[in-house]
Amino acid sequence: MVVGSTEMKFTEGEWKRGELIGSGSFARVYKATTNPKQNYMPPLIAAKSAAISKSFTTSSIFLAKESVTLAKLQGNCPHIIGFYGPEVTIDEKGKAYFNMLLEYASLGTLGDRIRQKPGGIPEPEVQRYARMILQGLKYVHEHEYVHCDIKPDNILLVPSSANSSSFDAIPKIADFGLAKKVGKRLKRNQTGVSLWGTALYVAPESVRYNEFEPHSDVWAFGISVLEMLTGKQAWTCDDELSGLLHRVGYSDELPEIPSMLSSTAQDFVRRCLVKNSLLRWSVDMLLDHPFVAINNDKTEAGALDDAALGIPKPQLLDWREIMVNVNSKLDANSRLTSPVKTMVKDRKHLECGRRKRKPGYVICESIRRMLHVF
């Protein structure tokens, strides 16, 4: 496939790639349209793609692992971005891509919203966003995952109705490429810290002890809330990276919380930004804080029903194929051929077998096989 090609046809996954709408360290994100004959995806989706080489590069490994994580988190939380599954595609030059098919967030990111409001987002709007993001984090942590990269640019905004404004948007946690299981230790790099995530949002214990646990997500969330309220970064960037990390992990310095904010907002942020992670409030405690409990009924009213918006819930076991057939240009002995055929075969076996599997099992098991083969 070539972005922008007028001759592009639907793949066997019944979608086609459109314009580039974003890019990151590991992948590019495209707007994509789906074939109206299929019934498990809305008309517009996002395709997050990374090229696959025979050595299976770091980018595609991260994307495959993110697919495993996101598949396990689908189903019961409206504040996790929707995931319709992984698919491998081959372009006309024989180049393979690993794709994640995702819910399309037409209102952009929370970071975009902050940049639109240089003086800060209105406090009632921040309250709404904060409560919903906390609900998403609660769900992630209950499933024994740590996101490890919470920041405004990784929170997507989805309309709550056809004519929704940014104020009425539903925030959804996205970009699980760095997520890890609770309790799993990360390897340190040459500087002695893994730098998992983004430095401006990294928690003190992550810098000092290489510790990334649920309370680390709370710190990053608190930094994000402060940015929403002020419209600017919580930490000044005058220092080099080493200087910033020292301030975060080895000093008593905390980001400045402006006195112009309401006392409730100030207290809420302080509960998040406690250097000692043992004294930092948990997600459950924060959900009971007056800052996000105010107007609770109004905050939650009706805006969370995807069915009312005509957005089908991802049905991870309903797909005919998990991966598209490999382009005939690749030779029969290609390392790509084996996982595709094996995955489809295993999928049918698992669906027809007597033992029931949780939703998402087929995807997770299939990607594990692909990672093993590559």
Could you tell me the end-to-end alpha-carbon distance of the chain, in angstroms, rounded to an integer?
A: 22
Strand partners, 89: 97
The one catalytic residue among 91, 112, 149, 318: 149
What does the alpha-carbon distance between residue 117 and residue 133 come to, in Å, rounded to a whole number? 19
Tell whether residue 48 is among the known ligand binding residues. yes
DSSP state of 40: S
Q: Are the beta carbons of 96 and 335 closer than 8 angstroms?
A: no
Give the position of tokens 């940049």: 115
What does the alpha-carbon distance between residue 102 and residue 314 come to, in Å, rounded to a whole number? 10
- Collapse the DSSP code of 45 into the 3-class scheme (helix H, G, I; strand E, B; otherwise coil) and give the result: strand
Residues ≥6 apart with Cβ < 8 Å to 78: 170, 172, 304, 306
DSSP state of 148: S
What does the alpha-carbon distance between residue 248 and residue 199 come to, in Å, rounded to a whole number? 9
Please list the helix, strand and coil fractions of the chain in percent, rounded to the nearest 5, in that order: 35, 15, 50
Rg (CA), the chain: 21
Strand partners, 50: 98
Is 239 annotated as catalytic?
no
Residues ≥6 apart with Cβ < 8 Å to 85: 67, 71, 100, 101, 314, 316, 319, 322, 363
Strand partners, 181: 145
What does the alpha-carbon distance between residue 195 and residue 186 come to, in Å, rounded to a whole number? 10
What does the alpha-carbon distance between residue 149 and residue 153 come to, in Å, rounded to a whole number? 10
Residue 156's H or E segment, with its range, is strand 155-158
Residues ≥6 apart with Cβ < 8 Å to 289: 264, 267, 268, 271, 281
Known binding positions for ATP: 48
Known binding positions: 48
Query: Which residues are tagged catalytic?
Result: 149
